[in-house]
Amino acid sequence: MNTNKKGLKLTYISACLASMFASHAIAANENNSTENSTEEFFERLAVTGSRQAYQGDFRPLETPQSELKIDLEALENAGAIDLNQALDLSASVARQNNFGGLWNSFALRGFVGDENLPSNYLVNGFNAGRGFGGSRDLSGIESVEVLKGPRAALFGRGEPGGTVNLVTKRPTFDTSGELKLSVGSFDTYRADVDYTTPLNDDVAIRLVGFYEDAKSFRDTIETTKKGFSPSITWNINDNSQLIYELEYSNQEVPFDRGVLAIDGKLGLIPESRFLGEPGDGPIEANVLGHQLEFVHDFNDNWSVLLGANYRDTSLEGFATETGFGGVVENGKVNRFRRYRDYDATYQVYRAEVTGNLEVAGLNHRLIIGVDSDKFENNQFVLRVRGDQYINVFNPVYGAYELPTPTANTDKVEIQESLGIFIQDQISLTDKLDIRVGARFDDYEQTLNNRLADTQSKQSESRVSPQFGVVYEASEFVSVYAAYGENFRPLSGTDLNGDGFEPNQSTSSELGVKFTLNDGALFGTIAVFKVEQDNMLVVDDPTAFTFAAIGEAQSKGFEIDLNGELTDGVSLWLSYAYVDATIENSFFDANFGYTVEAGSSLLNIPEHQFSLQLVKSSELYGKAVKFGGGLVYVGSRNGFFGTDFELPSYTTARAFINYDVTDNIGLRAEVDNLFDETYYTNSFADAWVQPGTPRTVRLSATYNF
Q: Cβ(275)–Cβ(281) under 8 Å?
A: no
pLDDT by residue (tens digit) across 214-254? 999 999 999 999 999 999 999 999 999 999 999 999 999 99
Residues forming a β-bridge with 379: 342, 411
Q: Cβ(613)–Cβ(627) under 8 Å?
A: yes
pLDDT at 10 over 60: no
pLDDT by residue (tens digit) across 534-586? 777 766 666 666 676 678 999 999 999 999 999 999 999 999 999 999 998 88
pLDDT at 533 over 90: no
Output the domain CATH number for residue 621: 2.40.170.20
Residue 126 CA to residue 54 CA, distance in Å, equals 10
Q: Cβ(348)–Cβ(390) under 8 Å?
A: no
- Three-state SS for 351-392 is EEEEEEEEECCEEEEEEEEEEEEEEEEEEEEEEECCCCCEEC
What pLDDT shows up at residue 462? Answer: 87
Average pLDDT, the chain: 89
pLDDT by residue (tens digit) across 357-404? 999 899 999 999 999 999 999 999 999 998 999 999 999 999 999 999
What residue spans of 514-565 are helical by DSSP H?
none
The pTM (predicted TM-score) of the whole model is 0.90
pLDDT by residue (tens digit) across 473-495? 999 999 999 999 888 777 767 77
Residue 338 CA to residue 380 CA, distance in Å, equals 10
pLDDT by residue (tens digit) across 78-116? 999 999 999 999 999 999 999 999 999 999 999 987 777
**CA neighbor of 162 nearest in space, from 121, 126, 123, 134:** 121
Residues forming a β-bridge with 625: 616, 657
Beta-carbon contacts of residue 677 (< 8 Å; ≥ 6 apart)? 267, 271, 690, 691, 693
State residue 622 phi and psi, 5-degree precision. -120, 150
Q: Cβ(128)–Cβ(96) under 8 Å?
A: no
Q: Give the count of domains, the chain.
A: 1
- Three-state SS for 233-301 is EEEEECCEEEEEEEEEEEEEECCCCCECCECCECCCCCCCCCCCCHHHCCEEEEEEEEEEEEEEECCCC
Residues forming a β-bridge with 539: none
pLDDT at 531 over 80: yes
Average pLDDT over residues 172-187: 97
Average pLDDT over residues 287-309: 96
Residues forming a β-bridge with 702: 179, 664
Beta-carbon contacts of residue 299 (< 8 Å; ≥ 6 apart)? none
Residue 564 CA to residue 522 CA, distance in Å, equals 9
pLDDT at 647 over 70: yes
Distances (CA, A) of 248 to 170, 179, 614: 16, 19, 34
What pLDDT shows up at residue 128? Answer: 80
What percent of the chain has pLDDT above 70?
90
Return the amino acid letter for 178.
E
Residue 372 CA to residue 441 CA, distance in Å, equals 9
State the residue range of the domain holding 438: 3-703
DSSP 124-141: TTEE-SSS-S-SPB-TTE
**CA neighbor of 92 nearest in space, from 160, 166, 167, 141:** 160
Band (117; pLDDT cuts 50, 70, 90): confident
Residue 430 CA to residue 471 CA, distance in Å, equals 9
φ/ψ bin of 330: left (φ > 0), alpha (ψ from -120 to 50), beta (otherwise)? left
**CA neighbor of 312 nearest in space, from 375, 221, 368:** 375
Beta-carbon contacts of residue 645 (< 8 Å; ≥ 6 apart)? 635, 636, 637, 638
Q: Going by DSSP bridges, is the β-strand pair 223-228/240-253 parallel, antiparallel, or unpaired?
A: antiparallel
What residue spans of 391-543 are helical by DSSP H?
none
Torsion of CA 554, 555, 557, 561, to 10 degrees: 40
**CA neighbor of 506 nearest in space, from 469, 556, 466:** 466
Residue 322 CA to residue 42 CA, distance in Å, equals 61
What pLDDT shows up at residue 545? Answer: 66
Beta-carbon contacts of residue 79 (< 8 Å; ≥ 6 apart)? 85, 653, 655, 669, 671, 697
What pLDDT shows up at residue 613? Answer: 98
Band (52; pLDDT cuts 50, 70, 90): low
